[in-house]
Structures are given as structure tokens and as C-alpha cells.
Structure 1
Amino acid sequence: MTDILRISLPLTVWIATFSVVYGLEGVVCSDLWTAAGLSLGQGRAALVASWIVAIALQAMVLIGLRIPRYGSSLPWVQRVSTILACVALVATVWSLMPVVTTSLCL
């Protein structure tokens, strides 16, 4: 991995998972979901599962950046990428929590 990839990966994964989860919510709340014969309960389950997968993916990025094989040889890059991975993990939990805790399709 190059150092720029190590630094940019955590927040890139966060914005990608954010877009996927809220895009899925848009599909669940649209007529396409019910036209496919799926219920809102199944939509809620899909959203919760996608939230859990997003958190797991961010945790894997954090762990991966801490492994010496994928980590940087430069200490400052190691610190910055680890801090950004922690920030991205917290951002994933916090910004996608409304999918789990609020009512669906208001």
C-alpha cells in the first residue's frame, strides 16, 4: 500500500458505506421495494445488516492498518492513518445509527 492510500482509505470507505446504506434506504422506501414483493420489515433487516457490515468493514480497515505488513514504515503515516481509521469507525457508527434507531420511511 502506498502512504496516500493508507491515509485516504478509512474516510473513503466511510463515505462509500454511507452512500450505500442511505441509497438502500431510498430503495426500501420506494415503490420498487414493495413491487418486488418485499416488506418494510425485510427492508429494516437489510438496513440493519448493511449497518453491521459497514461497521465490520471499518473495523477491518483499522485492524489492517495496524498490521505491520500493511502498515507504513513511516511513524507519522502510521499515526495519521490509525487516527483517521478510528475517526471513520466512529463516524460510521454515529452517522448510520439513524437507520437502526429511527422510524423507516417517514
Structure 2
Amino acid sequence: MTALLRMTAGLTHWAVAFCVLYGLHGIGCAGGWAAVAIGPVSVQRLVLLLAWIGAVLASVALTLWLYRTRGDASTDQIGIVLGWIGVAAIVVTGLPIVTLPACL
């Protein structure tokens, strides 16, 4: 059971991060956060950037923890690889935050 949890941790974290970013985007568009500016960025973009950066850092920390506590089993190695795939997926998922307009 522990091996299964370790193997799916990275991609599960990506799924949670995706849901959080998607939810914050919808809340921000409905609440008019894109129209309120804090310095050079809107409140919505700032909130999404902070959530995205936090998710990337948390995913990196999770993957490094998986690497530090690994054993000799191949499932541990698979968990580490899937952890890095989860980090890459979070980075790619968040790229529209910095490249596209907040609400279309």
C-alpha cells in the first residue's frame, strides 16, 4: 500500500494543484479580480502566480523527500520519476498564467 501511495504522490499532487489553479481562476474571473491592480499586475494574476509557485515548490519538496526516503525497490524509483513528471506537469499547467490574459 505504501508503495502505491509513493508511486502516485507526484501525479496526485499535480491533480490537486490543477484543481486549485482552475478554481482560483474561476473565482477570480467571477469576482472581478482581473480589474483590480496591485502595482503592475492584477490581483487575480498575483493570486494565481503565488498558488502556482507554491505548488511547484511543494511538488519539488515532495519529490526530494521521496528521493531521500527511497529504498531499493523499483517502485521507489518509479515514484521518484513520477514525482519529477508531476513537477513538470505543474510547471506546464501554470504557463498560461504568465502568457495569456486572465479572463477572456
Distance 1:54 1:100 in 2: 15
Does residue 99 of structure 1 match 2:97? yes
- Secondary structure in 2 matching 1:52: helix
Amino acid of the structure 1 residue aligned with 2:26: G
**Following superposition, which runs of at least 4 residues in structure 1 exceed 6 angstroms of deviation?**
none
* TM-score between the two structures when normalised by the length of structure 1: 0.85
Matched, 1:43 2:41: no
Q: Which residue of 1 aligns with 2:85?
A: 87
The normalised TM-score by structure 2 is 0.86
Structure 1 residue ranges without an equivalent (≥5): none
2:36 alignment partner AA: S
Alpha-carbon shift at residue 39 of structure 1 (Å): 1.8
Instruction: Please report how far the alpha carbon of residue 44 of structure 1 lies from its aligned counterpart in structure 2 after TM superposition.
Output: 0.9
Matched, 1:76 2:74: yes
* Percent identity of equivalent pairs: 28
| Equivalent residue number for residue 26 of structure 1 | 26
1:3-46 superposed Cα distances (whole Å, 9 cap, x missing partner): 1110111111100000101110000000xx24x9x826111100
Query: Given that residues 13 and 58 in structure 1 are in contact (C-alpha distance below 8 angstroms), is that contact kept between their aligned partners in structure 2?
Result: yes
User: 3-state SS of the aligned residue for 1:46?
Assistant: helix
**Paired residues, number:** 99
Aligned mates of 2:73, 2:86 — CA distance in 1: 20
State the partner residue of 1:5.
5
| Aligned partner letter, 1:23 | G
User: 1:60-86 CA deviation, whole Å, 9 max, x = no partner?
Assistant: 111010113xx2x34301210011011
Structure 1 letter corresponding to 2:11: L
State whether residues 47 and 100 of structure 1, in contact with CA within 8 Å, keep that contact through their aligned partners in structure 2: no
Residue of structure 1 in register with 2:57 after alignment: 56
- Flag structure 2 segments of 5+ consecutive residues without an equivalent: none
